[in-house]
Chain A
Amino acid sequence: MAAPLEAYRRLQEAARPVWEAVARPERPLFRVAVATCTRAAGADETLAALREELSRRGAEADVLIVGCPGLCFADPVVDVHLPGLPRVLYGRVTADQVPRLLDAVLGEARVLPELALGVVLYEEERMEGYRGTPVEGLPDLAQSDWMRLQVRRLMANVGHVGAEEIDHYIARGGYEGLAKALSMTPEEVIKEVLDSGLWGRGGAAFPTGRKWDFLRQARGSPKYLICNADEGDPGAFVNRSLMEGDPHLLIEGMLIAAWATGASYGYIYIRDEYPLPVERMRKAVEQARERGLLGENVLGSGLSCDLEVVRGAGSYVCGEETGLISSLEDVRGMPKIRPPYPAQAGVFAKPTNVNNVESYANVPLILRHGAGWYASVGSERNKGTKMFSLSGQVQRVGVLEVPLGTPVRDVIMVAGGGPPEGRKLKGLQPGGPLSGVAPASRILAQDGLPLEPEPFREIGMLMGAGGLVVLDDSSCVVDLALYFEWFAEDESCGRCTTCFGGTRRLQEMLRRISEGGGRPEDVPLMRLLPDAMRNANCAHGQAAPTIILSLLDLFQDELQEHLVRKRCPAKACRGLVRYEVVAQDEALPRAADICPTQAIVKEDGSYRIDQARCIRCNACKEVAPQAIAVLDRFAEQA
């Protein structure tokens, strides 16, 4: 057996008992998902309450901190593993529910069906996660609407192993891919990655193996690896979830890349808004170094590579690979001019490879199970799985992993449960604010808009890095476009006039339209700008007008309503609506009370809205939904 594999087996032997204690616990084991999303829902409080309650009861039990298993709609989640029983995942376990949960699970009942999301049954040998059989009285989680489309490979460990436990990872086969890679030549590793069909998950969908080959063949040393974890698109949080739940998968992937490309140092650049992933990744790097998996002579193979976790400084364009490189170099985070490409002259003018978190994370699985296994799921054109974060106006939000080619319709309507009650699906905004909006008609078409790059490209959009933001009919695309152009200008680095000037122009135009100043000749004007803006230096500037093209090509009717009839069908453009009292009910006094401009006035015993004062903030409507109506401001002109 090759030396690295042998060294790895020894590591694994040592790790196994630690994992065994968790896999087959002898006393109750509580897995508490502590991640950014669950924390927002109160996971820290739940954890504290659980610990306090357990010690108060003197209960013999263990608590393990894990990552978020992706069911964000049910946060905070707690997974209870009682000896001799299948694991049960409980949702919405806020701190005040903890005594109730403990009463049940530590008592006679042993389960609390009201909070249970389902039974979790892990088969150790199968990587495809949550599979199990129904237990009486409880549903099988794997068969739930949320889970049944999913194939969990990248997420196999997330929510399962301890978030800060390297032994769990190793015992479950982690770093085996690295050991195998180290027993191969770099060329063989690259070939394996090429054969798997893996392409970059950051949005550009460039074959990862070819990218690595560029760096491998580049002259100059040292060579650098960069992991782009500057997941800046609103609505995208798949990388965060992975780093919080299974940090070693990324480290292993980067080490394999280092071996394949000849890189000797790697940076994991994590956005500033992700303090927990920074903490978890730093800890994981530390642990890997302790086990001899990082640093000099990894697993006795001769590979020397170290990693450093770098915290970003909060700029969207630093997610663009050359912008990220500028940021790493401590200069203003501006995307660079290409050529030279990063593989020729990247960070500190040295050859560099930049990949997304998910791209690296796929590699250990490919090496471990082989390219054939990897390509066994997915569509005809695209192999493997992809993580998506579903959010927006949809019933269930969270992180899911589905085979490429899964129809987005199913993801939204089945896993997500469709738009909220009484609302209609309007569209989907994938891949961040620069990628445009797909209309419901396209999503609900025959093929359901498969989740792979090509169908999106056909409608002038990008599938992006995994964010799926669902829009229902309360959203207005003009309003959204205005917001996105503002966002694009706000985040523009300031290099290309077409970018920071063009987005400013578009904003001016959209603002005018959203305030009732639309003109038919705006359409050709809006076509002129994207043309010029395509000529920008980086993807940020080039893609900034995509939403405008969506608006012009896919939402023509809605735009025409704004331009010609001066009305916003979604009632979202504030300049095009007015608020009126349509019924006098008991909620009105409160609405009048909270009105920030005192626009709700009482005359002769009845309320009415003073239009001159109303700023259309919607506060009254939230308090008195029955009494207040949103009407078209320019209705009489229609």
Chain B
Amino acid sequence: MAKLTINGREVEAPDGAPLVEVIKNAGIFISNLCYVDGLPPYAGCRTCVVEIEGMRGVQLACTTRVADGMVVRTDGEEAKRMRQAALSLIMSYHSDRCLTCHRIVKCKPGDTCLRDGVVTHRCLTCSKNYRCELQTTCEMLEMAGYEPWEGEERTYYTTPQPEPDRANPFLEFDPQMCIICTRCVRVCDEVRHTGAITLAGRFNPRIEFGAGGPVHESNCDFCGSCIDVCPTATLMEHPNKWAAMQTERWVPTACTWCSVGCSIFLGIKGGRGVIVKPDTAGNPFSRDQLCVRGRFHYDFVRPHQRLQRPLLLRDGARQEVSWEEALEYAASRLAEIREAHGPQAIGFLGSPLMTNEENYLLAKLARAVVGSPNLDSTAGPVARAALEAVREAFGTPVLPADLTRVPKARTLLVVAEDLESSHNVASVRVKDAVIREGARLIVVSPRYGELCDFATVWLQPRPGQEAAVLVSLLRSLARDGGAAPGLPEALPDPEPEGVEAGELARAADILREAVRDQSWRPLAFVYALPYLAPEHVRATAAALCGLAVLCLGDEAPSCLYVLPQEANVWGMLDVGVAPDLLPGYREAGSPADQGDMERLWGTPVAGGPGSDVWHMLQDAGGRLRALVVMGDNPLFFLPDRQRVEEALARLEFLCVIDSLDTATARLAHLVLPDSGPYSKEGTTTSADRRVLRLHVAASPAGESRPAWAILRDLSLRLAQRLGLGEVRLNYARVAEVMDELAEVVTLYRHARYQELDNGSQQSWDGLSPRAARVPTLRLPANGHGDGHLLLTSRGLYTSYEAAALGLEDADRLHREESLEMNPADAAALGIGPGDLVRVANDRGELVLPAKLTYGAAQGTVHLPLHYRGGAALSLFGPGEPAASVRLSRA
């Protein structure tokens, strides 16, 4: 640590820290219009000048590193004069008339400028007004009246300025506001590793996207990082940019559009979210990064498009009813069915899109109130398959992995179809490791994703053969005499299709070096779960666990990162939404664990493994008579669409708790409107089990209520009918649910709200790894028929909520509304770019335009999962990682 004096104040800072950051952290204002915290100085604006004792003239605070005993003054006359002169030059590239005007505080939008005829752009007509760094800087540097150029013929005002680019739905780019600080260029390149923005031109330097065309034609993926750093109105959010000027308050919450778990601030105006900023200090993993979903999906669904009031199907038509009536109806129907067919006739589906508290209450409703173990979610089978492998390998289903270690890794193996799209910020951190740490990256993916560009080796197997690739690697490493518990004598010898032996050997060498040579560690194994094919997921997870154990032994579990498909999959399982799990990973079949739960809940608990989602649907109309679906959407997330639809139709009573009128909700007998994301309290659990607090930000739509309150009220009514007295259901606040949850689930011991707000984290008590062994390696058969293989996965741009409602601009960029196919395949079928293609098999057909790309391997085609309400899945059979389809020109 260095001790220095700034303006006479003693300040302590790490030796060698950039002086500008130290000054800012000390709470002293220093103008710095090009510096980005954490990046190397650019030293372009020349306004951060300070005087340092013992040095001649003025120094730049951004390029100066602090040293012990330094005496710094930011308020000297000379520094001030230099700052003003530099700033006046910066403003010669900006519409500056208001910025130097002493009347600025008195001006109103309709006023005519009394001072100058050339003023066309005024602060008052700028969407960045009052939140503009340049404006603040001018105020702090007392630029009002500082006008050495008064009356000068200024080229800025006499040359035509470039037109703003407002052609895309996310990002507005108005080069005329630009002061060429290049913060956006450096953030896009050095922080995002995207490099969509460049400093172009020599005479008249300017910022350009891609090759100088519109933003959407560059490789920008609209993460909005450039918006955060832009000191002027050059880069702005397109949606709500005017409304966001009047942001009333900022609510800290978390993004729930994937399992990475990024912390955000949602700006609220009039009860609606209008702007999102990253919560930089609140999250050690996402820090200052978000993706297009986190930043812009908050308003893809408008409040009026959400469910407003309970809907009851009566005489073939849905009617709005009061809450009283709806809850009474639900309770009575469930009680009747329980009476007539037993508790097991009622099934429950929870959802990874809901909070821990809500899923917990659903589990409690199922097992303790109704007494049914039939509890699952459409995301359950895949997630549990992965956990099964993890449990076999490490004796616990909970991995103690901490994602913040990923950017520090030196060797990475990523098994993901397109991590960039599915878990965007995790992908950024993997790139961090590659770019900043010089890490070597192996990507196993049947399809191109942006991360492949960063890979040392990209292994591209045929879909469904990821596990085979990993087993081949395992075999190669085991051949060197590697030993690990559980490693079978005879390993299978798969020959994964599509992967060259040389590439495979290169990947094995990389892992081998990481094992041998400490400098290639830490090692990280990342697996982003797909949506489909539990059997394949289990095999892939098992092979990955085995590989990790072989490479790292007991260290393996802390280097293995399994990223589930949706936001709160782990939380959902943690709190017991699974047929075979009680809350806190208590075994559903174990009498001891059941007794434990009965003691905690003070009531009999339905133990014994129940039916999973597929069995429930299979039994629908038979053993299963009623289904309560909370936030889940089987008609979106499950394959074999027709069978699912038939099964749901056979139910006597389908009750849906959701904020959206989804396909499933439209079949329901009763719909109870949940208040939806951003409108409820609760917690969600990220892929590495950080428990993130959600706060009420937006006003709920209509009369909708948060699902936890709906479940509470339903449970209370049901308990009353069933005469259950002991079980606690009357929670006044959701915090009370979490308090109880923290008692029940040891993993959440420190996840009480009060502690969460203080930044406390979960404990691993009782769930730490107990072993490290290679789990059973079973390779699923690849029984594909003829034709092409259709893959589907999460796209980056499509909003689930808007897609579930079938809204026109679920994908506002319209990038994910076509079928990706290899140009060679297309040529063979006589299909050109943009031509309509018929994709068909026995289950159905789709017609959509073709997008030709070498990113799709020959013989495979890809369709985003969220395309047209999950249409792709209607072509998939259960358990298939890819569907066989016939292609033809339509």
Chain A interfacial positions (CB closer than 8 Å to B)? 315, 332, 337, 489-498, 500-502, 504-505, 507-509, 511-512, 517, 525, 528-529, 531-532, 535-537
Prevailing SS type, chain A contact patch: helix
Determine whether B17 belongs to the interface, using a CB cutoff of 8 Å to chain A: no
Give min CB distance, B204 to chain A, whole Å.
Answer: 8
Contact A501 B93 (CB under 8 A): yes
Chain A residue, CB-CB nearest to B40? A337
Residues of chain A within 8 A (CB-CB) of B203 are: 489-490
Contact A501 B92 (CB under 8 A): yes
Residues of chain B within 8 A (CB-CB) of A332 are: 198-199
Contact A337 B43 (CB under 8 A): yes
Contact B63 A337 (CB under 8 A): yes
Q: Select which of A498, A500, A528 is within 8 A of B205 by beta carbon.
A: A500
Chain B residue, CB-CB nearest to A316? B202
Interface segment among B146-154, B232-240, B454-462, B868-876: the answer is B146-154
Contact B46 A505 (CB under 8 A): no
Distance in angstroms between the alpha carbons of A251 and B202 in the assembled complex: 33
Contact A535 B89 (CB under 8 A): no
Contact B89 A502 (CB under 8 A): yes
Interface centre among B45, B46, B85, by most chain A C-beta atoms within 10 angstroms, is B46
Contact B202 A494 (CB under 8 A): yes
Determine whether B155 belongs to the interface, using a CB cutoff of 8 Å to chain A: yes
Distance in angstroms between the alpha carbons of A565 and B201 in the assembled complex: 39
Distance in angstroms between the alpha carbons of A496 and B93 in the assembled complex: 12
Contact B46 A528 (CB under 8 A): no
In chain B, positions 324-378 with a C-beta closer than 8 Å to chain A are: none
Sample of 16 A–B contacts (CB below 8 Å): A315-B202, A494-B180, A494-B205, A495-B182, A497-B45, A497-B89, A497-B90, A498-B85, A498-B86, A501-B90, A501-B93, A502-B89, A525-B148, A532-B82, A532-B89, A536-B46
Distance in angstroms between the alpha carbons of A497 and B182 in the assembled complex: 11
Query: Interface 1/0s, chain B 36-53, versus A by CB < 8 A?
Result: 000011111110010000
| Interface residues on chain B, number (Cβ under 8 Å) | 32
Chain B interfacial positions (CB closer than 8 Å to A)? 40-46, 49, 58, 63, 82, 85-86, 89-90, 92-93, 148-149, 152-155, 179-180, 182, 198-199, 201-203, 205
Give min CB distance, B323 to chain A, whole Å.
Answer: 61
Contact (A532, B202) CB under 8 Å given A337-B43, A495-B43, A498-B46: no
Q: Select which of A494, A508, A536 is within 8 A of B152 by beta carbon.
A: A508
Contact B92 A504 (CB under 8 A): yes
Contact B154 A495 (CB under 8 A): no
Residues of chain A within 8 A (CB-CB) of B85 are: 498, 528-529, 531-532
Distance in angstroms between the alpha carbons of A504 and B45 in the assembled complex: 15
Chain B residue, CB-CB nearest to A491? B202
Chain A residue, CB-CB nearest to B58? A535
Contact A490 B202 (CB under 8 A): yes
- Other A-B pairs beyond A492-B205, A528-B85, A528-B148, 5, CB < 8 Å: A494-B205, A498-B86, A500-B180, A531-B82, A535-B46
Contact B44 A495 (CB under 8 A): yes
Residues of chain B within 8 A (CB-CB) of A489 are: 203
Residues of chain B within 8 A (CB-CB) of A505 are: 89, 92, 149
Residues of chain A within 8 A (CB-CB) of B152 are: 508-509, 512
Residues of chain A within 8 A (CB-CB) of B41 are: 337
Give min CB distance, A322 to chain B, whole Å.
Answer: 12
Give min CB distance, A490 to chain B, whole Å.
Answer: 5
Contact B202 A504 (CB under 8 A): no
Residues of chain B within 8 A (CB-CB) of A501 are: 89-90, 92-93
Distance in angstroms between the alpha carbons of A537 and B154 in the assembled complex: 25
Chain A residue, CB-CB nearest to B151? A519
Contact B90 A535 (CB under 8 A): no
Give min CB distance, A320 to chain B, whole Å.
Answer: 14
Residues of chain B within 8 A (CB-CB) of A497 are: 44-46, 86, 89-90, 93, 179-180
Chain A residue, CB-CB nearest to B180? A494
Give min CB distance, B212 to chain A, whole Å.
Answer: 14
Contact A496 B43 (CB under 8 A): yes
Chain B residue, CB-CB nearest to A486? B203
Residues of chain A within 8 A (CB-CB) of B92 are: 501, 504-505
Interface centre among A502, A517, A535, by most chain B C-beta atoms within 10 angstroms, is A535
Give min CB distance, A389 to chain B, whole Å.
Answer: 25
Chain A residue, CB-CB nearest to B89? A501
Residues of chain B within 8 A (CB-CB) of A517 are: 153
Residues of chain A within 8 A (CB-CB) of B63 are: 337
Distance in angstroms between the alpha carbons of A498 and B33 in the assembled complex: 13
User: Which 9 A-B pairs rank lowest in CB-CB distance, beginning with the nearest?
Assistant: A494-B205, A501-B89, A532-B85, A490-B203, A495-B44, A497-B90, A498-B46, A501-B92, A497-B89
Distance in angstroms between the alpha carbons of A495 and B254 in the assembled complex: 37
Q: Select which of A496, A508, A512, A529 is within 8 A of B46 by beta carbon.
A: A496
Chain B residue, CB-CB nearest to A509? B152
Distance in angstroms between the alpha carbons of A495 and B40 in the assembled complex: 14
Give min CB distance, B614 to chain A, whole Å.
Answer: 55
Residues of chain B within 8 A (CB-CB) of A535 are: 46, 49, 58, 82, 86
Distance in angstroms between the alpha carbons of A505 and B86 in the assembled complex: 12
Residues of chain A within 8 A (CB-CB) of B89 are: 497-498, 501-502, 505, 532
Contact (A495, B42) CB under 8 Å given A525-B148, A535-B49: yes
Contact A504 B155 (CB under 8 A): yes
Residues of chain A within 8 A (CB-CB) of B44 are: 495-497, 537
Residues of chain B within 8 A (CB-CB) of A504 are: 92, 155
Distance in angstroms between the alpha carbons of A323 and B90 in the assembled complex: 23
Give min CB distance, B240 to chain A, whole Å.
Answer: 31
Distance in angstroms between the alpha carbons of A300 and B201 in the assembled complex: 49
Chain B residue, CB-CB nearest to A500? B205
Contact B82 A494 (CB under 8 A): no
